[in-house]
Amino acid sequence: MDLEHINIKMDQLAAVAYNLPHELPTSPEQEVLLAEKIDAFYNGAKITMHLKKSILHACHLSLMETYVTRKYNLSEYDMGHVNWKGN
């Protein structure tokens, strides 16, 4: 198996593990692991994948919501049912 296939397989396994229930959820009070260098939290959850994308999403969410609400004249109900992350 070449490195590309190993990388793809590891990404798939990481995605599966990411969605498993965690008995000990990560909290901001825990120490940062040496391999991590930094840790970032959003809405009480640790960002473990797509750091740049997740931070940009968090920073621009309210601006995006305001823009979409005004442009398409959406109700509060409609806005509550938008999949903002697109996944």
Chain length of the chain: 87
pLDDT of residue 77 exceeding 70: yes
Token pair in block for residue 58: 């968090």
Domain ranges of the chain: 1-48, 50-87
User: pLDDT tens across 9-57, in order?
Assistant: 898 888 887 777 766 667 777 788 777 778 888 877 788 788 888 888 8
Strand partners, 41: 46
pLDDT, tens digit, for every residue of 38-49? 888 887 778 878
How far apart are the C-alpha atoms of 71 and 3, rounded to whole Å? 46
3-state secondary structure string, 8-49? HHHHHHHHHHHCCCCCCCCCCCCCCCCCCCCCCEECCEECCC
Q: What is the pLDDT of residue 1?
A: 73
Instruction: Give the model's pLDDT for residue 51.
Output: 84
The pLDDT assigned to 23 comes to: 64
